[in-house]
Chains A and B, each alone.
Chain A
């Protein structure tokens, strides 16, 4: 086996040194009746070239070469080449959590820079060194608000990513945290009247997303006012990090729970991604996840360490702020390098291109049909309503190697034939024009029921 650095003679010598005759003796503590006396039924040992071929084949079966208009929490942005050059360095790739600070200063300093940039972009005072993803970060941020307020119930915007809502529901079930949902208005924004109605003296947190699942930018200040008036904390989830280059961050929030995938992380069929929690300094001791702090060594030289570990499971066990241990460090490093590459000016220009592409596409769609939620500003996603079933439309688009917008009926049956479209800086004018043309192709003429049967199956 090519990963094992021992010759048969080495093994012999080692067994002899231990005083054993065969390796089986090392497994004697396992009761004989449980020991496996056959080969595992897994694929046979493969050559490196065979492994590469296997995955290339899987790749060809996996949307290779398609133009996609999907966003919805997973965004296609250009990844500068140096991200992979740098994260492929073994010293980053194959290091453990930086508990031994003296030989982990590289990881520690880069996390310190990451925390700083997340603070700069979100307008918060402290940020942690990553959570699993945007969905779990949102759930953990809400639990943080529950601890801080001593209250238990939570109001969640219906315009929060539906899968984030599902994750929160899973986390909340056994914490005795009642959840209520506040809907959205005709402009796609959280309905403030519904919020007022749902919020009570028991509400620990209001959880919203901005830009929300429909791409609409929420009126965070107005929502914060309502939440704070009732003594609740405002948790804002940001799923499209590139928006921070041009959209005012939710500075009125008490906690921001972010998904940083947009910053240089491959879409990768949904993971690994990079969740982050950012908040006010005064809340830091209830924040989950690792934190890096600056300090000095015995000679007074600047250095960095993992700090405030008394919040964490390896010290506090069942009284910890969270059970999180392994986080998304290497992905956070991708994010860190991406933020450094684009920096102060580039992030803004990048976001501006996203804004322009989506505005152009939405304008084109508006001429052919209906773009919903036009009454409020949006970033790089928008909702198109068609007469034709969006699954049928997508089925047609697939034939042209285009993946159309996400049909919303699965999550929002009341939105009927609406679909969520996304454009980024990578979306070309040509592909927008082609897609709009293909969507318009049939729209207006009702498809026969015969054609309809099966399209959902194909396009799902």
Chain B
């Protein structure tokens, strides 16, 4: 079977222990300059607060650290190595100029409390990015403060709550479609709203009848992902917005899938009142192995009084500054102003694209997903035949007959040189394979992917065990997650 694998070749990588296992007393990777002020005696200055013991911190040299982390890095898959088709995660190319400009002296080292007079550069970046994102979303105002998508959700719902409170009733519930990300219900709970599930219809869209029945004066908002997690654009979006608005509710949009819309349609134009963006998805800031992200929240005018403090304003003399005097604000959601370094990267991305590039990006993302959909139809079960945008969700229904599930197919995909797609999500599709190629994939890379997926489908028929035992080419085989959770070992300890 192995001759079918065209993209990847096995090659040597290095073994590497834990850094603590390389440590020995007297090795060092640091050197401080000579002290230009008098030495101090810590025990005299700190008394009983002086630290006595540094525990088992490592002692290693610089070359060992370089090799250690370089070796570890070679055990990772990455966008830089190839397609990373995780649905809903938007693993697109992370441009290197973004990294370069984030490291320019005054941008990397500006202090959040330095006087506004010498912070005009940073303030200008905040303002320009805000204006771009407001235009892209079709909303009226924005806060950049939230540190990630889920944090943005919380900020958005806090504003929803503050708005309803200002109307005399905070309301009780948030409606959330059954296809939603787990962060949506978790966020609603953090803002002390009850969660009510909303069923999807046979097209994979919000069931309008169910929405009408469930909508009441108790509902604060509907949290809608659009396109939803099936990659389906909610065609009845205007009806959805109308139903909510008629009973005083607000429409929250989870912007996780904004990569399908930028430059083609604006949520503000189709009735959304509040939404978050993920700069680490749509706007190309790197995922970095799990973060940092950034989750700006864009809003309609009615929510503006409730924005977190501070807000960037243009002062009477034309310079920029922060406005802290906002009596109706929901307060702060994070110290300082948010993940500023991500704003720099996102703005650099917008500049590199311009209006034409942003539109072409969206078109290519949707084109790529539909190309894969077409390429895999027949080989995998497509539970919803509704047209899809930037991602497509198959199921493992055909392969399950041979005892092979979505996770097994995903693990086999690793041997073919690809990162797996998102498995077992959305929850409304049993055994889901959720695929989002993004615009960053060439036709060649996608042809290889389609080939690999088809080849695995054939393997399932001819030799399912190969798939069940996958991956075969990685430095570790499938890991025992049950044992890890039953008796957690969460840190290294010296052997006595």
One of B66, B339, B440 near A85 (C-beta < 8 A): B66
> Which residues of chain A come closer than 8 Å to B474, judged between CB atoms?
102-103
Which candidate, B354-362, B393-401, B458-466, is the interface stretch facing chain A?
B354-362
Are A248 and B358 also in contact (CB < 8 A) when A34-B270, A72-B113 are?
no
The answer, yes or no, to whether B312 is at the interface (CB within 8 Å) is no
Of the listed stretches A150-158, A197-205, A332-340, chain B binds A332-340
Report the Cα distance A54→B158, complex, angstroms: 35
- Please name 12 further chain A to chain B contacts, defined as beta carbons within 8 Å, in addition to the given A163-B335, A307-B484, sorted by A numbering: A29-B235, A34-B265, A45-B352, A102-B471, A103-B75, A135-B335, A248-B49, A270-B337, A270-B340, A353-B32, A394-B115, A460-B117
The 4 closest A-B pairs by CB, nearest first: A330-B288, A270-B336, A45-B354, A90-B80
B50 to chain A, nearest CB (A): 7
Q: Inside 8 A of B102's CB, which chain A residues have their CB?
A: 268
A248 and B48 in contact, given A89-B73, A166-B332, A329-B291 (Cβ under 8 angstroms): yes
**Max chain A C-beta neighbours (<10 A), residue from B42, B280, B442:** B42
Max chain A CB contacts within 10 Å: which of B351, B443, B479? Answer: B479
Q: Does B100 contact A (CB under 8 A)?
A: yes
Q: Mark A1-38, 1 if CB is under 8 A from B, else 0.
A: 11111100011011101111001001111110011100
Contacts A292-B490, A359-B45 given; indicate if A94 touches B66 (C-beta within 8 A): no
B361, A94: Cβ atoms closer than 8 Å: no
Q: Are B289 and A92 in contact, with the CB atoms below 8 A?
A: yes
Residue numbers in A under 8 Å from B336 (CB-CB): 73-74, 133, 163, 269-271
Known: A42-B358, A272-B342. A347 touches B57 (CB 8 A): yes
Contact with B99, one of A88, A176, A324, A329 (Cβ below 8 angstroms):
A88
Q: Give the contacts of B51-99 with A (CB-CB under 8 A).
A: 51-52, 54-60, 62, 65-66, 68-81, 84, 86, 89, 91, 93-95, 97, 99
Partner of B488, one of A105, A110, A284, A356: A284
In this complex, the interface size class of chain B, counting residues with CB under 8 Å from chain A, is 35 or more
A329 to B16: give the CA distance in the assembly, Å.
21
Most chain-B Cβ atoms within 10 A of its Cβ — which of A88, A101, A325? A325
Given contacts A42-B350, A398-B118, A295 and B479 within 8 Å (CB-CB) = yes
A17 near B374 with CB under 8 A, answer yes
Min CB–CB distance B328 → chain A (angstroms): 13
**Interface residue? A377 (CB, 8 A):** yes
Let me know if B313 is at the binding interface, CB within 8 A: no
Set of chain A residues within 8 Å of B100, measured between Cβ atoms: 52
Contact status B108-A268, CB under 8 Å? yes
Binary contact track A312-334/B, C-beta < 8 Å → 1, others 0: 11111111101111111111010
**Contact B112–A320 (Cβ < 8 Å):** no
Q: Could you tell me if B492 and A331 are in contact, using CB atoms closer than 8 angstroms?
A: no
Q: Is B201 an interface residue (CB 8 A)?
A: no
> For the complex, is B314 an interface residue (Cβ under 8 Å from A)?
no
Check if A248 sits within 8 Å of B52, measured CB to CB: yes
Please tell me if the beta carbons of A406 and B491 are within 8 angstroms of each other in the complex. Answer: no
CA distance A446 to B116 in the complex (A): 25
Q: Which of A62-70, A224-232, A436-444 contacts B (4 or more CB under 8 A)?
A: A62-70
Contact B46 A55 (CB under 8 A): no
With A84-B103, A96-B287: A325-B51 Cβ-Cβ less than 8 Å: no
B228 nearest CB across to chain A (Å): 11
Task: List 7 A–B pairs whose Cβ atoms lie within 8 Å, in order of A's numbering.
Answer: A42-B132, A59-B107, A62-B110, A100-B414, A104-B77, A343-B28, A347-B54
B:331-370 near A, CB below 8 Å: 331-342, 344, 348, 350-361, 363-364, 366-368, 370
Q: Are A30 and B264 in contact (CB under 8 A)?
A: yes
Q: Is A148 an interface residue (CB 8 A)?
A: no
Query: In the complex, which residue of chain A has the Cβ closest to the Cβ of B151?
Result: A132
Instruction: Report A-chain residues with C-beta under 8 Å of the C-beta of B103.
Output: 84, 266
CA distance A377 to B354 in the complex (A): 54
Once the chains bind, are A97 and B287 in contact (CB under 8 Å)? yes
Which of the residues A103, A248, A323, A348 comes within 8 Å of B414, measured between beta carbons?
A103
Is the beta-carbon distance between A48 and B29 smaller than 8 angstroms? no
| Contact residues in B for A447 (Cβ distance below 8 Å) | none
Contacts of B478 in A (CB 8 A): 102, 297-298
| B148 and A35 contact, CB distance less than 8 A | no
Q: Determine the chain B residues whose CB is within 8 A of the CB of A66 once the complex forms.
A: 114, 118
A61 at the interface (CB under 8 A from B): yes
Name the segment of B187-195, B210-218, B245-253, B297-305 touching the other chain.
B187-195
- Cβ of B336 to closest chain A Cβ, rounded Å: 3
Q: Is B150 an interface residue (CB 8 A)?
A: yes
Contact of A267 with B109 at beta-carbon distance under 8 Å, contacts A109-B18, A328-B291 already known: yes
In whole angstroms, how far apart are the Cα atoms of A31 and B236 in the complex?
A: 8
Q: Which of B99-131 contact A (CB under 8 A)?
A: 99-122, 124-125, 128
**Chain B contacts of A80 at CB under 8 A?**
29-30
The 8 Å CB contact of B122, one of A62, A123, A129, is A62
Report the minimum CB–CB distance from B239 to chain A (whole Å).
Answer: 10
Contact of A57 (CB < 8 Å), options: B121, B161, B420: B121
Q: Are B492 and A267 in contact (CB under 8 A)?
A: no
Does A415 reach chain B (CB closer than 8 Å)?
no
A51 to B492, CA, bound (A): 44
**B127 vs chain A, min Cβ distance (A):** 11
Residue of B49, B77, B94, B370 near A93 (CB, 8 A) is B94
